[in-house]
Amino acid sequence: MPLSFHKMHANGDDFVIVDSRNSPLSITSALARRMGDRHRGVGFNQLAVMLDCDDAAARLMFWNADGSTLEACGSATRGAADRLMRESNTTSIVLRTNRGLLTCERTSTGAISVAMGKPLFGWSAIPLAQEVDTAVLPLTGDPAACSMGNPHCTYFVDDLTTVDIAAIGPTIETDALFPLKTNVHFVQVIDRTHIRLRIWERGGGIPLGSGSCSCGAAVNGIRRGLLDNCVEVECDGGTVTVQWDGLGSVFLIGPVETCFSGTLTDRFLQAL
């Protein structure tokens, strides 16, 4: 049977939403990889699949374009929340991910706010391959690490224009310290409420932005004492707001837009 989808983006961080509630068709790694192909498929940084759920509006599963799974995706969570709030004509909704139940709200400006859960700092929770101080990792450049459901490694630099993201990112992503690989952030602090962020995304390369990476980068900056509790995170594609009081859930606030909707043909699906 044909498969419907919605292509969306958050400041250029593009993703696809598939509503599989009440649907017998399951998404596999091979199908996610085929859909993620920007030349022969739809193309996306991440795929979010909405599934039936007893205690939330939907349960979300996430895939990278290379067919690997991930635990959290702030941009696609906001996109799914936007669609479901429009469907139910409400300004608040709860979604379930592997991070637990996430409360999502539409702000007065139309942006989507998601309570992304508490960051994790224990070395085994990130996870790292050995017990180390996650605030200052034993790597050149003294990065910090945390988990927002996915591992994040944050470097603080004086000038982002001097950093070769494409060369350094893959090396850090696959460093032996990160058994599940890691997202890599390069942060230039503009002031205590504003950072410039560029990203090497685990399994994805260099995106225009990333919700969970924006959260991880801001959290690591706050715990280092470099930032206040509310931070404007400026990525290549645009700006989101991250709020964290140092104790509870991290809040991610930013816009999402629908690009187009479509249907994958039986022939496309049968080619797997």
* Residues 244-266 pLDDT 10s: 999 999 999 999 999 999 999 88
The full DSSP string for 225-255 is: TSS-SEEEEEETTEEEEEE--SSS--EEEE-
Per-residue model confidence as pLDDT tens digits over 173-220? 999 999 999 999 999 999 999 999 999 999 878 999 999 999 999 999
Rounded CA-CA distance 214/42 in Å is 25
| Domain 3-107+256-270 is found in CATH 3.10.310.10 | yes
8 Å CB contact between 232 and 211: no
- Whose structure tokens read 């400026």? 234
Mean pLDDT of 111-129: 97
Q: What angle do CA 156, 158, 164 make, to 5 degrees?
A: 80
Domains 3-107+256-270 and 144-248 are alike in CATH topology: yes
Q: Where are the domains of the chain?
A: 3-107+256-270, 144-248
pTM: 0.94
CATH number assigned to the domain covering 144-248? 3.10.310.10
Other CB atoms within 10 A of residue 55 CB: 8
Asked if 154 and 144 count as a contact pair (C-beta separation under 8 A), the reply is yes
Q: What number of CA atoms fall less than 13 Å from residue 158's CA on the CB side?
A: 0
Span 27-57, pLDDT tens digits: 899 999 999 999 999 999 999 999 999 999 9
